[in-house]
Structure 1
Amino acid sequence: MISLLIRVYTSFVPPTPEKKSNAVRFGILGTATTAPLSLTLPAKSHPEVVLQAVAARDRTRAEAFAKKHGIPNVRDTYQDILDDPDIDAVYIPLPNSLHMEWAVRSIRAGKHVLLEKPSVSNAAEADILFNMPELSLPNAPVLLEGFHNRFHPAIHLFRTFIRPSDVVHVHTEAMVPWLMVDKDNIGLNYSLGGGCMMMLGTYNFSLLRMIFNAAPEECLAADTHVHADGIHDKCDYDFTAKFRFPNGGIGEGTNTFQGSLIWKPSTARVTHKETIVLDESLPATEEKTLTREVTLHGFMNAVIWHRIDVKDSFVIRAKADGRPIKRWVESKSHKAYTYKEAGGEFADLPGEDWWMSFRYQLEEFVNKIKGRKTQFWIPGEDSIDQMKMVDMAYEKSGLGLRPTSTFR
């Protein structure tokens, strides 16, 4: 318990090393509630990141944000940030409906872009954004969709226990307590690209594709609930979606904005098909099989708490008639707050147990900008597949795709 308290406290009150002279200078477009956790906090402990400027539709709000987070410059408009030669990169935590426009404008201005997830509102926008010709030029700007949880060591240790080709079923779920999302929240604003699948389910969908190491072929079902008041009736406040993947496996995601006040960690449970295990100690008339189940508790906020449970169910049976001779289960739990804890090929990667997934993500984003090797990355093709998956579910649900920006 003491180690947990120290870890979480240090996450929110991190050490502040001296900034390097060649640090990446960030501008922030907007003062969204996600910005402090996603960038301003992890930037404090990164010696190669400086928060240079912020802009918002309301300058007063931007000034208050800058004062609170120690940002020296406030700009009148988002474009002023892009026109500033002292800005190297921008973070875009704007409403989803504005992501494509300001990401495109930022890239055209030669700025690196850390783009809040979901990257855009639909697959058509993703195809435009991630296939911009400017991204293929020498010394092109870096563009990253911020699926921060995929950079945490726990996710990568979790993956080492999974054989994608043998996965037959995955169940994922996450929730937000009902008090945190009222009807006026942008997460339930259709014109701003809202909806539970967009705001929360994207984590599940991204994880499903990572587990299967493939994009789904079909959305088999998508059940949603909406506030049927004529205003919010196109925005799901909860959903369950089921997908079929190329190996025949089924992946499910279920999320809600109407969760209980008692926090329940996000969960991903992976079931593998039964496979034969070579065991030379057995007589020729018998065979040994294994069915593995791997569960990751806390795939969204792993720094607070997570656990990876690996349950291996063994059977020794007669080859002639399949009669079971012996059954047993071997279970073990794991954790990895650092890559050293994850071990194996990851053991030498940097990180501290108090690093949030946002801090691990920022580390790789800066590495990419600096031309250094990145161990983990989310390429544009992945982000396009992500939005195709979201589109599949929204079309299947009957709610329809989120609106496409008119900006070109």
Structure 2
Amino acid sequence: MALVLQAYTFAQQYVNSCLHPTPTKSPMALRLGVISSAQINAAAVIHPVETHPDVILYSIASRDVQVAQQAAKKYNFRKAVGSYQELLDDPDVDIVYISTPNGLHYEWSAKALRAGKHVLCEKPFTSNAEEARKLVGLAKEKNLICEEAFHWQFHPAAHLFRQILESGQYGRILRTDAIMTASPGVPDGDIRWQFELAGGSMMDMTYALSFTRYALRDAKLKDIQTATARPYKQDKRVDEAMHSLLLFEDSRDSHLIQSRVYTDMSRKWIINKIVPRMWELPSIEVETDKAIIYFYNAMMPHLYHYIAISDKMTGKTEYKKQYDGGPCWGEAWTTGGKGGKSYWSTYRYQLEAFTHKVRGKDVPYWIPGEESIAQMEVIDAIYQAAGLPVRPSISTKA
């Protein structure tokens, strides 16, 4: 479903660009360099930059200079270059967005930091936890920003979801159930199936684990009760799907929380080759003492979402939505005014926070590097519990 959601986001951002005027760019705007020509670039950073007055589309790099030139022409970048290193060597680049295959995230993020650039790196942060620790350490050493692009966490709907869970109104969290699937599935030959490039459903669909850990906040992983992978037929080291049952310990009162995380890059159709599960959007259900709380389409809530709260005592269900403002952004002044704009995508809220952080300003919400390390540690542990190898590091000088 990720590709479908991205397509809807492209359409939404295109419509919004027609309905809302392009802001005047600041003469001191941050100059963005984009490393790779990945399909995600348009939704994740290009269109958000178009509506941001403090960032300009400066340079895009591809290993095929003609591909970079085509992208530059299409999206009005000022420069196109034929190597990633050439982009990093440009002293005029201030910030870098990295959307290479998973296995190259650490290499090019580290090289960008060494070149003095702030980094917004696509998820998953790195191939494994060891790389994540090195990257976070390097960013601190260089006094630069290096942020994992879990864009959904920056959206007001995510903040409302957490506020509901932490309000105390519904008691303790007892269990969670998070899911992310692809139906139709990821096609054979896609880089997400390549073990050497850190492929696999737990890596590409790391959102499901992110939903879980975000809901539980400070809870610590205590045990992996079970982890069962459905191996990819062409490479048994790669998980086509992963069913894992995790046990977390609440940091406040030490009670245990059971969390199911299910990822599937090739989800079976309801009717084979006729009806895919198009409605099965990335979501999480949380059971508390007093309610069942369900966040539908947590990955891209700007398109459509709801948070359903089903009261166990009354049997009644209340629905909530939040497209701007909310617990974090409500009192914050943004480049779109107080609380942001209801038509902003998750990526646009993420860019707002990222640029504020780069400028040294306070931000309503942020994902610290330690969170990205912890995320990768859990992924590594799930692979090991499932009897699969941890995704490998590519040997580089980074």
- What is the distance in 2 between the residues matched to 1:240 and 1:335? 29
> Which amino acid in structure 2 is aligned with residue 377 of structure 1?
W
User: Is residue 59 of structure 2 the alignment partner of residue 73 of structure 1?
Assistant: no
Instruction: Describe the SS at the equivalent of 2:262.
Output: strand
Among residues 203, 211, 216, which one is paired with 2:221 in the alignment? 216
User: Which residue identity does 2:229 align to in structure 1?
Assistant: T
Instruction: Please tell me whether the aligned partners of residues 13 and 47 of structure 2 are also in contact (alpha carbons under 8 angstroms).
Output: no
Matched, 1:335 2:343: no
Structure 2 contact 62–68 (Cα < 8 Å) conserved: yes
**Aligned match of 2:355:** 366
CA distance in 2, matches of 1:403, 1:141: 26
Please name the residue that 2:286 is paired with.
270
For residue 216 of structure 1, give the secondary structure of its aligned residue in structure 2: strand
**Alignment partners' CA distance in 1, 2:21 and 2:246:** 43
Determine the structure 2 residue equivalent to 1:279: none
Distance, in Å, in 2 between the alignment partners of 1:216 and 1:362 is 30
1:161 counterpart = 2:183: no
Residues 166-210 of structure 1, C-alpha deviations (whole Å, 9 max, x = no match): 11100011222225x11201111111110011001x111112111
**Equivalents in 1 of 2:41, 2:378: separation in Å?**
26
CA 1:204–1:11: 2 relative to 1, 3 Å? farther
Say yes or no: does 1:235 pair with 2:221: no
Mapped to 2, the partners of 1:177 and 1:330 lie a distance apart of: 32
In structure 1, list runs of 5 or more residues that go unmatched: 274-290, 315-327
Alignment-derived partner of residue 367 in structure 2: 378
| Equivalent residues in 2 for 1:124-163, closer than 5 Å | 124-132=130-138, 135-136=140-141, 140-163=143-166
- 2:330 corresponds to which residue? 347
TM-score scaled by length of structure 1: 0.85
Say which of 128, 133, 136 aligns to 1:122. Answer: 128
Contact kept? 1:8, 1:303, Cα under 8 Å: no
Inter-partner Cα distance in structure 1 for 2:41 and 2:350: 14
5 Å-filtered alignment, 1:7-406, equals 10-11=15-16, 13=18, 15-132=21-138, 135-136=140-141, 140-163=143-166, 166-179=172-185, 181-200=186-205, 202-213=206-217, 214-229=219-234, 232-247=235-250, 248-259=256-267, 260=269, 261=276, 262-273=278-289, 291-314=290-313, 328-339=314-325, 342=326, 346-349=329-332, 350-406=339-395
Q: Which moved more, 1:162-171 or 1:186-195?
A: 162-171
Which shows bigger deviation, 25-34 or 232-241? 232-241
- Read off the aligned partner of 2:331 and give its amino acid letter: D
Deviates more, 1:98-107 or 1:259-268: 259-268
1:170–1:208 CA contact under 8 A, matched in 2: yes
Partner in structure 2 of residue 280 of structure 1: none
Secondary structure of 1:234 counterpart: strand
1:310 maps to a residue whose letter is I
8 A contact 1:215–1:389 mirrored in 2 = no
Structure 1 residue 347, shift from structure 2 partner? 2.2
Change (3 A) 1:345 1:153: closer
Task: Check 1:72–1:8 CA distance in 2 against 1; reply closer, same or farther (3 A cut).
Answer: closer
CA contact (8 A) 2:69 2:81 kept: no
SS at match of 2:49: helix
Whether the 8 Å contact between 1:161 and 1:310 is mirrored in structure 2 is no
Structure 2 Cα separation of the partners of residues 64 and 345 of structure 1: 39
Question: Alpha carbons of 1:124 and 1:385: their partners in 2 closer, same or farther (altered >3 Å)?
Answer: same
5+ residue gaps, structure 2, are 1-8, 251-255, 270-275, 333-338
State the alpha-carbon separation in 1 of the partners of residues 59 and 24 from structure 2. Answer: 19
Q: How far has the Cα of 1:87 moved from its partner?
A: 0.5
Note closer, same or farther for the CA distance 1:130–1:345 as it changes in structure 2 (3 Å cut).
closer
Distance in 2 (alpha carbons) for counterparts of 1:191 and 1:8:
34
Q: How far is 1:333 from its partner?
A: 0.5
- In the TM superposition, residue 228 of structure 1 has moved relative to its aligned partner by 2.7
Q: CA deviation at 1:227?
A: 2.7
Q: Who is 2:273 aligned against?
A: none
Higher-Rg structure is 1
C-alpha contact (below 8 Å) 2:241/2:264 kept by paired residues? yes
Q: Say whether the 8 Å CA contact 1:11–1:356 is kept in structure 2.
A: no
Contact 2:227-2:243 within 8 A present in 1 as well:
yes
Which whole-Å CA distance do the structure 2 matches of 1:161 and 1:293 have between them? 11
Distance change >3 Å, CA 246–CA 228, structure 1 → 2 = same
SS at match of 1:208: helix
Flag as ranges the 4+ runs of structure 1 deviating above 4 A. 6-9, 11-14
Choose 392-401 or 163-172, whichever is displaced more: 163-172
Q: CA separation in 2, counterparts of 1:215 and 1:388?
A: 11
Q: How much does 1:217 deviate?
A: 2.0
Deviation at 1:7, TM superposition (A): 6.3
The 8 Å contact of residues 195 and 237 in structure 1, kept in 2 or not, is answered as yes
Instruction: Name the CA shift for 1:152/1:345 in 2 (closer, same or farther; >3 Å).
Output: closer
Q: Cα RMSD (Å) of the superposition? A: 1.9
> Partner amino acid for 2:245?
K
| Contact 1:219/1:243 (8 A) holds in 2 | yes
Provide the secondary structure at the position in 1 that maps to 2:202: helix
Q: Is the 8 A contact 2:176 2:258 kept in 1?
A: yes
The TM-score normalised by the length of structure 2 is 0.87
Offset at residue 329 of structure 1 (A): 2.9
Give the 3-state SS of the residue equivalent to 2:69 in structure 1. helix
Number of equivalences: 364
Higher deviation after alignment, 237-246 or 254-263: 254-263
